[in-house]
Every structure is written in C-alpha cells, then in structure tokens.
C-alpha cells in the first residue's frame, strides 16, 4: 500500500543515505523532502536515480523561518488531504546544525541552533501530527552529546527556561565555539523532551522515537567552523571513523532508515541508540521540563496553546 514519509535533512550525510535506503527498500514509499534553494530542484531526481524509486517530491522550506516551515507543512497536508499524495505515515526530522556561537538568529529572532534543531521540528510535527495514519512513526535525530558523550569537545547540555534558550546570546562567551557546541548538545536534550511529550500526546498507533547515530565523522556537521577546523576534521575523519564508538554516514543512514520504516523498535518515546533501544540520560526524563518546552514552543511559534 502506498504511503508518504516526510523528511528533513535528506540532502547530505546521514539523511541522504537514509533517504536512499528507504526509497530502495520500499517501492511503495513516496518520500517528500523539505529542502532549500536549488537543492529542492535537484534532490528528487538524484534520489530517484540512485534508489530506483521515482516517488520523490521536494517542497521548498527554510527551517530557519517558521513561516516557511508552516507553509511547507500546510502544502504537504493539503496534498495528502486531496489525494495528490498517499496517506502520511511518518515524519523523519533529521535536519540539524552545530554553530560556532549562539549570537546568530533565525528570521524570527530565535537563536539559530534552538530555532532549527528544536522549534522547527516542533512546528512541523505539530502541524502534521493529526494527519498521520496508524501505524505511523515520527523519528527525530538526537545525539549522545545530550548525555555529555562529546565532552570536553562538545560540552554537556545546560538546561534553562526554553525562552532563555531561544534568545540569541550576548557577550563574549556567546561568541565562542564552546557556547555554540553547548547549544547543540542542549538542543539534542530538548529533542528527547519533545519525543517524550509526543509519546504522551499522539494517538494510539502513532509512535515517536529519538534516534542517536553516535559519532559520524564523515558528515559536514562542522561546516560552520573556520577553514582550519574544517580541514583538520576532514583529515582526521577516516581515522575517527575507525573508533569503536564511531561509524560512517552510510551505516548511520541505514540505521535511521530502519528506525523510520523497519520493524517497530520499541515503545513510543524510546531512545534508539544506533540499532537498539537504550536508556537515555537520567536528565532526559523530566515531565515538567517536557511539558514546559512543549508549551513554550507553541508560544514562540505563535501557535494555539496545546491541551494539557
């Protein structure tokens, strides 16, 4: 039976490999990818050619602009409602970034890491969640940095009121790469909070999972770093990939694809560590933080207050 999956972050790295794997594994799958600029024109053809599955559509969207996210979600929803797309069975929210400061802001004045890694996911999922058909699945890419796995290079998360996390930083510390990396690990903690809250709110038969790919050196996650750091990371990537806790993007992409369309991984709300359900950090279980994040994201996005 034909079905639609919506995906962000499908143009490169882990997401590109996952998109190719999903399309080649399931010929009945129609993949809708959100992409920016020229990528939206070229990506469907590239994915179709590599996978052999022609059922790929792109919708233009800049995840750093909430109006764009809402428009794209509405466009997908309308296509599903009209029958132009098969029923929506899943959302794979894989896009994410790591910056070298917390001083940047999205089009809506939100600190960029929080805006793209957290708020855009919230808006996209909340806008389309009621169109998901059972059995349905939402997978959001997290990271083991939420538990301090990247320390000291990536500092442990530092939780705060969501509106504080959403505010661009000021002062000298905010301009440092350390601040940017901490914002990244904190955003990945927030992703797990969103998944836990989703698991409580989604209807029976629609599951939500956080996926951790671990260390994947052959991606361009450090693309915002200076040229020296980028060159060094490129040189070290082959050696880093040999570490026991690291893997290549193609392997991580296969794991993400399996989390999205493979056998049910486990109970809704679970944390998938590469290939298996695992326990995320003790800090990642906090119903009060989870509810506050869900509520404050609604306020930041200008959406109606969610029901309790």
What are the tens digits of pLDDT across the range 242-253? 555 679 999 999
Task: Give the integer Cα–Cα distance in Å for 253 and 262.
Answer: 13
- What pLDDT was estimated at residue 235? 56
* pLDDT given for residue 244 in this prediction: 57
Q: Do the beta carbons of residue 91 and residue 138 sit within 8 Å?
A: yes
pLDDT of residue 246: 74
Inside any domain, residue 306: no
Does residue 136 lie within any of the structural domains? Answer: yes
CB of 222 closer than 8 Å to CB of 233: yes
Q: Do strands 271-273 and 88-93 pair parallel, antiparallel, or not at all (unpaired)? A: unpaired
**Which ranges of the chain have pLDDT less than 50?**
228, 230, 232-233
The answer to whether position 177 is within a domain reads yes
> Does 76 fall in a domain?
yes
What pairing do the DSSP bridges indicate for beta strands 271-273 and 276-278? antiparallel
Inside any domain, residue 178: yes
The enclosing domain of 117 has a CATH number of 3.40.50.720
Q: Which residues of 65-79 are buried (b: 16+ CB within 10 A; e: fewer)?
A: bbebbbebbeebbeb
Residue 308 lies in a domain: no
How much is the pLDDT for 232? Answer: 47
Per DSSP bridges, beta strands 56-60 and 88-93 are: unpaired
Which residues span the domain enclosing 7? 3-301
d(CA 154, CA 9): 21
> What pLDDT is attached to residue 237?
52
Q: 139 in a domain, yes or no? A: yes
Q: pTM (2 decimals)? A: 0.93
Distance separating alpha carbons of residues 245 and 87, to the nearest angstrom: 37
Assess if residue 307 is contained within a domain: no
How many structural domains is the chain composed of?
A: 1
């Amino acid at each position: 039976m034909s079905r639609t999956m919506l995906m962000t972050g499908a143009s490169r790295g882990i997401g590109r490999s996952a998109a190719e794997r999903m399309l080649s594994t399931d010929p009945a799958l129609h993949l809708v990818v959100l992409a920016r600029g020229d990528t939206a024109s070229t990506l469907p053809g590239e994915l179709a050619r590599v996978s052999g599955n022609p059922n790929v559509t792109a919708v233009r969207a800049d995840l750093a602009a909430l109006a764009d996210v809402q428009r794209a979600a509405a466009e997908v929803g309308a296509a599903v409602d009209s029958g132009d797309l098969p029923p929506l069975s899943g959302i794979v929210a894989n896009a994410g970034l790591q910056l070298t400061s917390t001083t940047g802001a999205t089009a809506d004045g939100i600190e960029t890491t929080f805006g793209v890694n957290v708020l855009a996911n919230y808006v996209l999922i909340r806008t389309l969640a009621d169109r998901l058909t059972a059995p349905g699945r939402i997978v959001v890419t997290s990271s083991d940095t939420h538990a301090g796995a990247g320390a000291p290079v990536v500092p442990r998360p530092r939780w705060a009121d969501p509106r504080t996390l959403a505010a661009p930083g000021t002062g000298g510390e905010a301009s440092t790469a350390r601040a940017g990396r901490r914002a990244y690990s904190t955003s990945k903690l927030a992703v797990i909070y969103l998944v836990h809250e989703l698991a409580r709110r989604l209807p029976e038969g629609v599951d939500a999972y956080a996926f951790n790919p671990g260390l994947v050196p052959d991606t361009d996650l450090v693309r915002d770093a200076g040229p020296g750091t980028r060159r060094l990371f490129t040189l070290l990537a082959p050696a880093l990939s040999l570490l026991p806790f690291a893997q290549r993007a193609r392997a991580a992409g296969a794991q993400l694809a399996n989390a999205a369309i493979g056998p049910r991984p486990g109970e809704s709300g679970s944390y998938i560590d590469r290939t298996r359900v695992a326990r995320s950090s003790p800090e990642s279980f906090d119903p009060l933080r989870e509810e506050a994040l869900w509520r404050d994201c609604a306020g930041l996005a200008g959406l109606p207050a969610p029901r309790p």
